[in-house]
């Protein structure tokens, strides 16, 4: 073999070796990149993580929107004397004023309207501070409708002793009546207050609290309009 033939053979071997080495390195790099997820659509790398975070954020947004949908709509209730009350759509002010403005609606034993923003301290007849806004609204309605006469009714659920429930409901009805007077409601328009305890409660004593809560209420009865 000549020196020239030896050089050519060595060159071919070197070129083949280099090519195989390049191919090997290329495939190793591709495998490493695929493991990192950089070129995999929807992979579990950085891009996939941001996608999941976006999905969680979107889900949180939908849950927040659902809460907002259940939040009562705030409205202004206009009274004949020009007073405007801040109230909730479908709340006691909204329903009561609509009833009073309806000439066909009759006052009487079936004309009851529930407070929707009235609360008491636990197992007591003490009104919470934020309850006075709605009491004041009822006082304003009484002033705007001087012929209106109302009675306050107190109710409890079936939990506990019926005698104790009767006492608690009476105490709470009395507390609301007193609060109306403190907000300068005309005493002549306040027929009285009566506690009915649990006798009109619909939910069983062992029912979920969400059901029993509907039985714990204070109501206004329109006696005259």
On whether both 88 and 195 belong to a single domain, the answer is yes
On whether both 38 and 82 belong to a single domain, the answer is no
On whether both 31 and 101 belong to a single domain, the answer is no
pLDDT of residue 22: 58
Single residue among 69, 91, 115 that ends a domain in this structure:
69
On whether both 151 and 163 belong to a single domain, the answer is yes
Long-range contacts of 181-189 (CB under 8 A, 24+ apart): 183/132, 183/135, 183/136, 183/139, 184/139, 184/143, 185/138, 185/139, 185/142, 185/143, 186/142, 186/143, 186/146, 188/149, 189/142, 189/146, 189/148, 189/149, 189/150
Digit-coded pLDDT (tens) for 37-92 = 432 233 333 333 333 333 333 334 444 344 445 678 999 999 999 999 999 999 99
On whether both 28 and 10 belong to a single domain, the answer is yes
Helical pair 132-144 and 92-101, crossing angle rounded to 10 deg: 10
Single residue among 50, 69, 88 that ends a domain in this structure:
69
On whether both 96 and 173 belong to a single domain, the answer is yes
Residue range 29-43: average pLDDT?
41
* pLDDT above 90 as % of the chain: 67
Residue range 112-138: average pLDDT?
96
Count of domains observed in the chain: 2
On whether both 89 and 156 belong to a single domain, the answer is yes
pLDDT of residue 211: 95
Single residue among 11, 35, 69 that ends a domain in this structure:
69
On whether both 63 and 83 belong to a single domain, the answer is no
The average confidence (pLDDT) of the chain is 80
On whether both 113 and 157 belong to a single domain, the answer is yes
Q: pTM for the whole thing? A: 0.69
Digit-coded pLDDT (tens) for 82-120 = 999 999 999 999 999 999 999 999 999 999 999 999 999
pLDDT of residue 71: 79
Helical pair 162-182 and 132-144, crossing angle rounded to 10 deg: 60
Residue range 20-24: average pLDDT?
57
- Which one has a higher pLDDT value, 78 or 36? 78
The answer to whether residues 65 and 71 touch, using CB atoms and an 8 Å cutoff, is no
- Which one has a higher pLDDT value, 122 or 198? 198
On whether both 84 and 156 belong to a single domain, the answer is yes
On whether both 116 and 38 belong to a single domain, the answer is no
On whether both 207 and 116 belong to a single domain, the answer is yes
User: CATH no. for residue 102?
Assistant: 3.30.1330.60
pLDDT of residue 2: 44
Q: Residue 164 sits in which domain range?
A: 73-224
């Amino acid at each position: 073999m000549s020196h020239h033939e030896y050089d050519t053979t060595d060159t071919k071997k070197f070129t083949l070796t280099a090519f195989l080495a390049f191919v090997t390195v290329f495939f190793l790099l591709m495998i490493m990149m695929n493991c990192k997820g950089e070129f995999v659509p929807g992979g579990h790398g950085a891009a996939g993580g941001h996608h999941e975070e976006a999905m969680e954020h979107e889900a949180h947004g939908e849950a927040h929107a659902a809460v907002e949908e259940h939040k009562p709509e705030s409205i202004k209730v206009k009274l004949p004397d020009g007073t405007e009350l801040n109230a909730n759509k479908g709340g006691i002010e909204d329903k009561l004023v609509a009833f009073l403005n309806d000439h066909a609606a009759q006052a009487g034993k079936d004309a009851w309207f529930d407070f929707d923003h009235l609360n008491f301290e636990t197992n007591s007849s003490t009104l919470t501070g934020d309850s006075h806004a709605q009491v004041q609204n009822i006082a304003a309605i009484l002033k705007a409708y001087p012929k209106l006469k109302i009675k306050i009714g107190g109710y409890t659920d079936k939990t506990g002793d019926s005698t104790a429930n009767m006492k608690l409901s009476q105490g709470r009805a009395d507390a609301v009546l007193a609060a109306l007077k403190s907000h300068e409601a005309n005493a002549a328009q306040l027929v009285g207050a009566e506690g009915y305890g649990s006798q009109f409660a619909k939910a069983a004593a062992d029912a979920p609290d969400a059901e029993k809560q509907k039985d714990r209420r204070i109501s206004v009865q329109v006696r005259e309009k």
